[in-house]
Chains A and B, each alone.
Chain A
């Protein structure tokens, strides 16, 4: 965890619509952007618990997060306006290893969130494959110019070629399918989290046959078949 224990306050620099999603640009302040795939806990205005988001973009002076309004917390974040302020804690957890020879970035839906920053940090314009459930959702591909795009019913696994070092983020069925195809893929998982730093024990997933906290072990887990995220773990956190 970062040395400063408290979340720091950050002003909203801009709010942009990207298809059905919202790109929330925050003034960076003293926060480090961290490693791609690491995450930040963002205060959700009016809600008790913060919400975890991987960093999408790190332009100078800003940190930007891609938000899918799926519940009261994410909806509150999408309603933020420039000059509003929220608490931010991070970067947290373990991100992607960048020492790969032939990277292929694979994203599904809101799971494309960490890929723009990942592509930038890898450098050299790595190939990207993105899958979406609709043409409207696919508008978010504008964040990754040059990406190959597939829309349901076509699946990303149908266009992943052999020999790549896959770095992926997306819904659980996609990640399981990618893992089956590319056993050494680095996969960014998601789970309901209350704290993001190992305190709440809420985000456990099955790793090496035991329930472990995703916030400390991940959210990026490498392949070799050592993890098995229970299918029930991605239920809506807010009731």
Chain B
């Protein structure tokens, strides 16, 4: 089980000593044109979670490829580039420019932009025609049937799934105003974990694709739960904000948690942890 960062939760150039703890670094989502992102305030703490409405702030494809990607390569880490856009052609065009990276994550589920994207399967299919790199589809658990979306992107050529993105949510401040300037934002942190475990479980069952599980992972025990539900790898997001040493800590804790639970994490490309207790099917 490898440990990645959730896209948008770490700037590897600003904090290389945090990125180097990871098995692979996932970039912030790159869109065709530069985006300044949303006005502040962009973050708010909630019960067992936080909201963000960054709004896909990024330098745009051209500057990312010319300036950021070469500097990221100098870190010597396997790189995943998160690709975003507002129609299938946006995503596909960016994919044609990417090479020499480990994988592409297609951000099909940002809750903080207004523009409607084409369907997840259409975007995956368009990207599949332009690149041989592994394509991981990052899905939202807000869909009534995330397993159905997973099956659709699998049929369209996705090589794996990243589960899950934040969930659209609202928080009010003490004066009962929206805490974020945008109004709504994406909920992340421990509050998300049960939702994410469910999505990982049903999508694993539905597709058998490799899954990067994420959503509220704070400890090795959390990571183990994702493995048991079918995640091959995991990603850390919100926990990085309070503990930049989390990748190293979670890796150590994961080994101890697996030993304590009598679980062997089988690296068979599908990621299901095996033990007498975990053989039972996780309810969908």
Contact = CB atoms under 8 A, between A and B. Distances in A.
A43 B46 CA distance: 16
Nearest to B249: A6
Contacts of B177: 235
Interface in A27-53: 41, 43, 47-50
Contact of A43 (B43, B238, B242): B242
B37 A195 contact: no
A204 B37 contact: yes
Among B8, B14, B36, B51, which residue has the most Cβ atoms of chain A within 10 A? B14
Interface in B27-48: 28, 36-37, 39-46, 48
A194 B172 contact: no
Contact of B44 (A1, A41, A230, A239): A239
A136 B173 CA distance: 26
B40 A191 contact: yes
Among B11, B46, B241, which residue has the most Cβ atoms of chain A within 10 A? B241
Contacts of A230: 39-40
A217 to B, nearest CB: 11
Contacts of A89: 244
Nearest to A233: B40
Contacts of A142: none
Name the interface size band of chain B. Answer: 35 or more
A130 B218 CA distance: 42
Interface in B60-93: none
A239 B170 CA distance: 10
Interface residues of A, number: 42
A199 B240 contact: yes
Contact of B171 (A49, A73, A239): A239
Interface in A48-67: 48-50
B228 to A, nearest CB: 24
Contact of B49 (A48, A216, A236): A48
Interface stretch (B15-23, B96-104, B124-132, B145-153): B15-23
Q: Main SS of chain B's interface residues?
A: loop
Contacts of B10: 199
A201 B54 contact: yes
Given A48-B238, A197-B15, A199-B10, A239 B52 contact: no
Contacts of B245: 4-7
Given A211-B37, A230-B40, A232-B40, A49 B50 contact: yes
A203 interface: yes
B17 A199 contact: no
A191 B43 CA distance: 10
A72 B174 CA distance: 11
B244 A195 contact: yes
B23 to A, nearest CB: 16
Interface in A137-182: none
Interface of A: 1, 3-7, 41, 43, 47-50, 71-73, 87, 89, 191-195, 197-205, 210-211, 216, 230, 232-233, 235-239
23 contacts: A1-B15, A5-B21, A6-B245, A7-B244, A48-B45, A50-B242, A73-B45, A191-B40, A192-B43, A192-B44, A195-B241, A199-B18, A199-B241, A201-B57, A202-B40, A202-B43, A204-B42, A235-B173, A235-B179, A236-B174, A237-B41, A237-B43, A239-B46
Nearest 6 CB-CB pairings of A with B: A6-B245, A239-B171, A198-B14, A202-B43, A195-B241, A239-B179
